[in-house]
Chain A
């Protein structure tokens, strides 16, 4: 039963990827003015040769079939702007950086958000609770690029502790990771706080307390674990948030990740690269959501994540 459910989820994910690919393909082909329209007039025979080389002269159905065949092989064709480089190469180069950044930001958000939320819940209506609520409200009201600009001004230009942009050392990733993770941490802290508050007032916790359970053990076993359920349920949307956040953060910090390449492709109308990135993002988001649902089903067997 579980295996069949899992299989159907994977099947749905594949169908989604196919649908996104088809939509993006049609949109890109519908865009009037091909990639070879430039300021300079191209000679007709040269133009024909170019179109033949990129198979743009074939009927739409044949082009789609070719694109689908290439997709099955993980090949998205050549980039239309970066001459002599294939989209696959760009993806292979930029994806590891983006994945590392996203994973580090998520880890940071969890390590910051969960303890902060738990702390606020145990100190309800006292200074720590107010502090956490205030900070999270502020963080949720500030766009990530503002956070990034403030961080660069403070830590790079004024204090000179961290590099303002670029790559090269792990220190280069600290500021982007902080700016990407903090908004997610704020949401996680709020979720943990409200979840923990509910449980702290339950009969089970009162009974455990009456039994004389040590506080640390009580918090860890009886409060934290159920309080994490909404946090884990939020991991799917959090992945989506990190994904959109990385588009901006990579731009601000000049990181050559997938997000920066995708934004450049969208601005330059490099359709093959944009299509490859869109399909990759769809797959990535689907996998993250699936992983979060599996984790949720494991943490709380009552959820019908896989039904």
Chain B
């Protein structure tokens, strides 16, 4: 494994550990409002290590708690995209013929849509149903995951289909077919296990995009809702507090740095995986 990939993995492990352990660390509550210490700059060594925001909340604590939401959103959103995209692509590739054509035409159609705009539209309509959704135990976060699944299953389906088409020609699949194995059997026993390498590569491509999408939606006010925190929400608050009198750069710096570091690490790991070792 290359040096870059190892560095990326180390950074990711560190971030994940920090996110998991955030509630156990000796940090102030991320939602604790203390107006008397509003907008303190970072001290780097003692109490507000990374400073405080407009309401006196601790930035370090908020960034670490935000990591929980942002990283989880990235993982779950990717899982949904893969859960939709892989069976879709595998089925289209394995069956071929008319079904494949219809399925790929459908994918083409979805690709020609401004999906982000449509997802925003969907989320805005869903706001009208907040009470019903809450009664069913669903929050906007769940809607967000559905939306992400809608957005990112297309590339997954395409890659899976191409890979399946290649596998379909493989002698062991031909042999299984000659012995009378059905499509579900071949799919489960012969195709899906061989998709792992490309799925892994897809994972490193999709997770950063989902994390970015979470930040994007939260920034616009249609993603994670306060009092929950995520990196996108923190950056959004920081930008809203920007003014020429107090250059409170630390509000934006901490979540942005965490976000950029995560995406960079994922990119490094992905490049390491895609290169033949």
Contact across chains for A157 and B244 when beta carbons are under 8 A apart:
yes
Question: Are B222 and A266 in contact, CB atoms less than 8 angstroms apart?
Answer: yes
* Residue A16 is within 8 A (CB to CB) of chain B in the complex: yes
Please tell me if the beta carbons of B125 and A27 are within 8 angstroms of each other in the complex: yes
A-B pair number, CB within 8 angstroms: 140
Given A137-B264, A142-B260: A267 in contact with B239 (beta carbons within 8 A): no
B216-256 interface mask toward A, CB cutoff 8 Å, 1 = contact, 0 = none?
10011110000000001001101100101001010010001
CB < 8 Å neighbour of A269 from B124, B244, B260: B124
Q: Which of A27, A142, A158, A164 contacts B121 (CB 8 A)?
A: A27
- In the bound complex, residues from chain B placing their C-beta under 8 Å from that of A158 are 247
Set A27, A142, A157: member contacting B256, Cβ < 8 A:
A142
Q: Render A248-271 as a binary contact track against B, CB cut-off 8 A, 1 for contact.
A: 100110000000001101110101
**Measured between C-beta atoms, what is the minimum distance from B118 to chain A in Å?**
6
| Residue B196 interfacial (CB < 8 Å) | no
Q: Is A173 an interface residue (CB 8 A)?
A: no
Q: Is the CB of B249 within 8 A of A289?
A: no
- Over the window 19-34 of chain A, the binary record of Cβ atoms lying under 8 Å from chain B Cβ atoms (1 yes, 0 no) is 1100110011011110
Task: Answer yes or no: B122 CB below 8 A from chain A CBs.
Answer: yes
* Binary CB contact string for chain B from 166 to 185 against chain A (1 if under 8 A, 0 otherwise): 00000000000000000000
Instruction: Please tell me if B109 contacts chain A, counting CB pairs below 8 Å.
Output: yes
- On whether A285 and B112 interact (CB within 8 A), knowing A24-B121, A157-B244, A262-B117, the answer reads yes
Please report the C-alpha to C-alpha distance between residue A285 and residue B113 in the assembled complex, in whole angstroms: 8
Question: Given A31-B125, A141-B260, A266-B121, is A153 in contact with B112 using a C-beta cutoff of 8 Å?
Answer: no
> Once the chains bind, are B113 and A141 in contact (CB under 8 Å)?
no
Q: How far apart are B41's CB and chain A's nearest CB, in angstroms?
A: 14
In the complex, chain A residues whose CB is within 8 Å of the CB of B82: none
Q: Are A146 and B128 in contact (CB under 8 A)?
A: no
Do A146 and B235 touch across chains, with their CB atoms under 8 A apart? yes
- When C-beta atoms are compared, the residue in chain B nearest to A19 turns out to be B109
Contact of B249 among A141, A153, A266, A267 (CB under 8 A): A153
> Which of A13, A28, A33, A251 is within 8 Å of B220, CB to CB?
A251
Tell me whether A31 and B128 are in contact (CB under 8 A). Answer: yes
CB-based nearest A residue for B118: A278
Tell whether, in the assembled complex, residue A143 and residue B235 are in contact, meaning their CB atoms are under 8 Å apart.
yes
Q: Please tell me if B212 contacts chain A, counting CB pairs below 8 Å.
A: yes
Contacts of A263 in B (CB 8 A): 120, 220-221
Q: Does A149 contact B (CB under 8 A)?
A: yes
Those of A10-54 within 8 Å (CB) of chain B: 12-13, 16, 19-20, 23-24, 27-28, 30-33
Asked whether A145 is an interface residue with its Cβ less than 8 Å from the other chain, the reply is yes
Alpha-carbon distance A277/B264, docked complex (angstroms): 34
- B259 on interface, CB distance cutoff 8 Å: yes
Indicate if the CB atoms of B252 and A248 lie closer than 8 Å.
no
Q: Does B127 contact A (CB under 8 A)?
A: yes
Q: Is A247 an interface residue (CB 8 A)?
A: yes
Cβ of A140 < 8 Å from any Cβ of B? Answer: yes
Are A247 and B252 within 8 A (Cβ)?
A: no
Nearest A residue (CB) for B231: A143
Bound-complex Cα distance A27 to B121 (A) = 9
CA distance A186 to B120 in the complex (A): 26
Give the most central of B114, B117, B216: most A CB within 10 Å.
Answer: B117
CA distance A34 to B272 in the complex (A): 52
**B123 contacts A by Cβ under 8 Å:** yes
Q: List 26 A-B contacts (CB under 8 A).
A: A16-B113, A19-B109, A24-B118, A28-B125, A31-B128, A32-B129, A140-B263, A142-B263, A143-B260, A149-B252, A152-B242, A153-B242, A153-B249, A157-B247, A164-B242, A164-B244, A240-B114, A244-B114, A248-B220, A266-B124, A267-B221, A269-B124, A278-B121, A284-B114, A285-B113, A289-B112
